Structure 1
Amino acid sequence: MVTRRALLLGSTAAALGAVAGCSAPAAPGAAPVPASGGPASGASSSPGSPSHSAAPTSPRRPTPRPSPEPAVPTHPTPELADVVAEGLDVPWGLAFLASGDALVGERGTAKLLRVSPGGRTRTLGEVRGVVPPRGIGEGGLLGLALAPGDEDTLFAYITTADDDRVVRMSLAGGRVGRPRVVLAGIPTSTHHHGGRLLFDRAGRLLVSTGDAERPGLGQDRSALSGKILRLRPDGRAAAGNPFGDRTWSYGHRNVEGLALDDAGRLWATEFGDKEADELNVIRPGRNYGWPRVEGRSDVRGLTSPAATWSPTSACSPAGLAVAGSTAFVGALQGRCLFAVPLDGTGAGKPEAWFAGDHGRLRTVALAPDRTLWVTTSNTDGRVEPGRDDDRILRFRLT
């Protein structure tokens, strides 16, 4: 298979502005437009996990306890530690194993890689059935999520010739098995696939879907597009969903970032069209406005974002991770890493880090050692890639 990286190196990305509000490049080195934060309309704090008393232990032979996770400051500062891997082809999905190694999916080649913290990279195989994007399309092998407590079962969001779908596959023996369909029939298009996967604390699978360039689907609660879905691992609607179907929230344009905070609240990043990009705290059954509104609104029945970026050329928010009380957002057009202070369900003003240093930033994930792994997205047809693109960067949080 001819990779997108081979096609793109040495070429320029013409006609990039054709996709308004998605991820056309900003001027190199341009400073992001100031963004704003504020409380999420109509949202309330969720209680954290209950504490449990330690089991009695013998004074002679104490019960072994797992080492605590490294502490993260309340509002950590990111500091570039190193480059974990380079020469990748649009790394999109990323899921960590308990060992600290990461499973990384290349969007266009559909290859699944295993990358160690020390930079050792090996290919586990190719996910069958994936139709790669054409031109500056956004499909292919997208989000990844490991089944809770089972590192041999991987879930993936993929695009095919007919639809977008969620599949699961075995990784037993260190090879990629045949994908089994979990959910099919998600409308597809050239752009706006969503594609992020995340398991919540109850072991239910959260799936973000784009509007497939059909804005009205976001307000159609019976449609799979323009939603955050909540599924059982077998693809059926999870118990407790607000409408008795797979929909968890609706009125979304294109959500590419999902993350839980320490209290279990769900956060999502969303691409706007022309007016405003969004960071939302997600509540079940809420309507997030698209296509009726972008950004904040006082329209009854619509939930306003916790933070916004305006215009959309300031950010194009893709990946999302929450560490301490800070949301870290990968910005495609903004070409930076945004740090957004969180306070319950509210958010402060986003602060840009490393503006223009690494190009377009896509996926952001918190590793088991509490460092931040960030993938670049410079070989996706929107900009001319550098010699070592695409890369996985690692940031210390201090």
Structure 2
Amino acid sequence: MQRRELLSGMAVLGAAALVGCSRSSEGEPAPRTTGTASSATAPTDAPPTGTPTSAAPVTPTIASTVASGLAVPWGIAFLPSGDALVSQRDDGTIVRIGADGTVAPLGEVPGARGRAGGEGGLLGLALSPDDDGVLFAYVSTSTDNRVVRMTLTGDTLGSPDAVLTGIPVGARHHGGRLLFAPDGTLFVSTGDAGNGRLAQDRDSLAGKILRIDQDGAPHPDNPFGNRTWSYGHRNVEGLAFDAGGRLWATEFGDKSADELNVSRRGQNYGWPRVEGTGGGRGLVDPKVTWPTDEASPAGIAIVDQVAYVGALQGECLFAVPLDGGSAGTPVAYFAGDYGRVRSVAAAPDGSVWVTTSNTDGRGDPRRADDRILRITV
């Protein structure tokens, strides 16, 4: 039986100081020997970087616990009713969570492989903008990462049909976020599968942000005549559009810098030649960097010109003010209060849902973990 908490009481929490952590990627020990990544970034004890802005301060507030007792909640897709479909990474299952906190199992996605301490499994979810009875999911199998499509009829989940297969799979760096654009095309974030050179191969599906149609074909306006939209990524777990149509992406660094980027058509984001800033000609610098022991940025949602970024190792929610294509200095909220923070999603009512990730084999589970928090902003 899954545990749950129904709309627990209000808890008003102020901003915390920027908080450190001790590992990169999703929590594996960060190697300190030299490697393929350039060290042309700020030292690891440098503060997060961003451009100071005059944006009004925000006051994120924990309004309630929507649900608890979940198993590594990863993807969130909201239905028109306000209910949410949520993937459970290691179980390979999808649940429906009502606005009142009720949790209804919908079923298992065959072939999804997840394990405690790993990074793969049943990851991102996205509902078709044309039909809320069609659900897309990003799945790690024994042979590849892939995007599948399923029908949803009431609380009945149909069998998955493969849309895009052959995304390289490894022990880590799966990417996994799905996001529909206003024109109905689907953006897919992938990791480098632990092989950095694939990120620079524009024909590889690894280390990319991909742009496909709902049948998996490349969008005709893609820059290289294939599915690649942008490349040179290590591991992107967060995608969100701002009000101006810019695509923002969170990315795990290796030894030096975690990143917040604007993903643009055909651009090279540098991995493994460089991480963080200072890449030089032909490479795009991030808008914000964090030392890798302070963030591990995962999910992202943008509300009212503020990007809210979940931090796994930072164990907080970062608020990053945006001004067009520029980003201000991140501020950490709820630091250490709920453990590892993974996914962040803008809800239809204007609030933000945030998932914890303490049962993933890399955190310290607390009573009723994992949970989804509702935050007013």
Q: Same fold (TM over 0.5)?
A: yes
1:34 is displaced (CA, Å) by 2.8
Q: What SS does the aligned partner of 1:36 have? A: coil
CA distance 1:20–1:257, shift in 2 (3 Å): closer
Q: Match of 1:22?
A: 26
1:262 is displaced (CA, Å) by 0.8
CA distance 1:33–1:373, shift in 2 (3 Å): farther
1:74 is displaced (CA, Å) by 6.5
Q: Match of 1:95?
A: 77
Does the CA-based 8 Å contact 1:76-1:323 persist in structure 2?
Answer: no
Structure 1 residues not aligned, in runs of 5+? 4-15, 27-31, 40-72
**In structure 1, distance between residues paired with 2:117 and 2:373:** 24
Q: Match of 1:55?
A: none
Q: Does 1:302 align with 2:306?
A: no
**In structure 1, distance between residues paired with 2:27 and 2:88:** 18
- Which of these residues, 22, 33, 36, is aligned with residue 49 of structure 2? 36
Q: Match of 1:154?
A: 135
Does the CA-based 8 Å contact 1:252-1:288 persist in structure 2?
Answer: yes
**In structure 1, distance between residues paired with 2:166 and 2:141:** 10
- Which of these residues, 358, 362, 378, is aligned with residue 342 of structure 2? 362
**In structure 2, distance between residues paired with 1:383 and 1:283:** 34
Paired residue total: 342
Q: What SS does the aligned partner of 1:37 have? A: coil
- Which of these residues, 331, 349, 364, is aligned with residue 384 of structure 1? 364
Q: What SS does the aligned partner of 1:217 have? A: helix
CA distance 1:220–1:226, shift in 2 (3 Å): same
Paired residue type of 1:336:
C
**In structure 2, distance between residues paired with 1:107 and 1:249:** 26
Does the CA-based 8 Å contact 2:24-2:252 persist in structure 1?
Answer: no
Which structure's CA Rg is the greater one?
Answer: 1
**In structure 2, distance between residues paired with 1:175 and 1:260:** 30
Q: Match of 1:46?
A: none
1:20 is displaced (CA, Å) by 4.6
**In structure 1, distance between residues paired with 2:327 and 2:175:** 23
Instruction: State the Cα deviation string for residues 216-248 of structure 1 (Å, max 9, x = none).
Output: 000000100000000010000012111111000
Q: Match of 1:185?
A: 166
Instruction: State the Cα deviation string for residues 100-129 of structure 1 (Å, max 9, x = none).
Output: 110001001111111012101100111112
Does the CA-based 8 Å contact 1:21-1:274 persist in structure 2?
Answer: no
TM-score normalised by length of structure 2: 0.87
**In structure 2, distance between residues paired with 1:358 and 1:206:** 30
* Residue pairs, 1:36-75, within 5 angstroms: 36-38=49-51
Q: What SS does the aligned partner of 1:218 have? A: helix
Q: Match of 1:268?
A: 249
Q: Match of 1:118?
A: 100
Does the CA-based 8 Å contact 1:257-1:319 persist in structure 2?
Answer: yes
- Which of these residues, 364, 374, 379, is aligned with residue 354 of structure 2? 374
Q: Match of 1:196?
A: 177
Instruction: State the Cα deviation string for residues 160-186 of structure 1 (Å, max 9, x = none).
Output: 110000000011242111000000000
TM-score normalised by length of structure 1: 0.83
* Residue pairs, 1:303-318, within 5 angstroms: 303-310=284-291, 312-318=292-298
* Residue pairs, 1:200-279, within 5 angstroms: 200-279=181-260
Structure 2 residues not aligned, in runs of 5+? 3-20, 31-44
- Which of these residues, 60, 64, 72, is aligned with residue 82 of structure 1? 64
Q: Match of 2:311?
A: 331
Instruction: State the Cα deviation string for residues 307-350 of structure 1 (Å, max 9, x = none).
Output: 0001x010000000001111000000000000011111111110
**In structure 1, distance between residues paired with 2:366 and 2:331:** 26
Does the CA-based 8 Å contact 2:112-2:140 persist in structure 1?
Answer: yes
**In structure 2, distance between residues paired with 1:255 and 1:151:** 25
RMSD (Å) for aligned C-alpha atoms: 1.9
Q: Does 1:130 align with 2:143?
A: no
- Identical-pair percentage: 59
CA distance 1:216–1:188, shift in 2 (3 Å): same
**In structure 1, distance between residues paired with 2:89 and 2:62:** 25
Instruction: State the Cα deviation string for residues 192-237 of structure 1 (Å, max 9, x = none).
Output: 0000000011110000000000000000001000000000100000
Q: What SS does the aligned partner of 1:222 have? A: coil
Instruction: State the Cα deviation string for residues 131-175 of structure 1 (Å, max 9, x = none).
Output: 223x41111100000000311100000011100000000112421
Does the CA-based 8 Å contact 1:318-1:332 persist in structure 2?
Answer: yes
Instruction: State the Cα deviation string for residues 357-397 of structure 1 (Å, max 9, x = none).
Output: 01000000000001000000000001220111000000011
Does the CA-based 8 Å contact 1:131-1:140 persist in structure 2?
Answer: yes
- Which of these residues, 301, 306, 312, is aligned with residue 321 of structure 1? 301
Farther off after superposition, 268-277 or 74-83 = 74-83
Q: Does 1:109 align with 2:119?
A: no
**In structure 2, distance between residues paired with 1:200 and 1:241:** 14
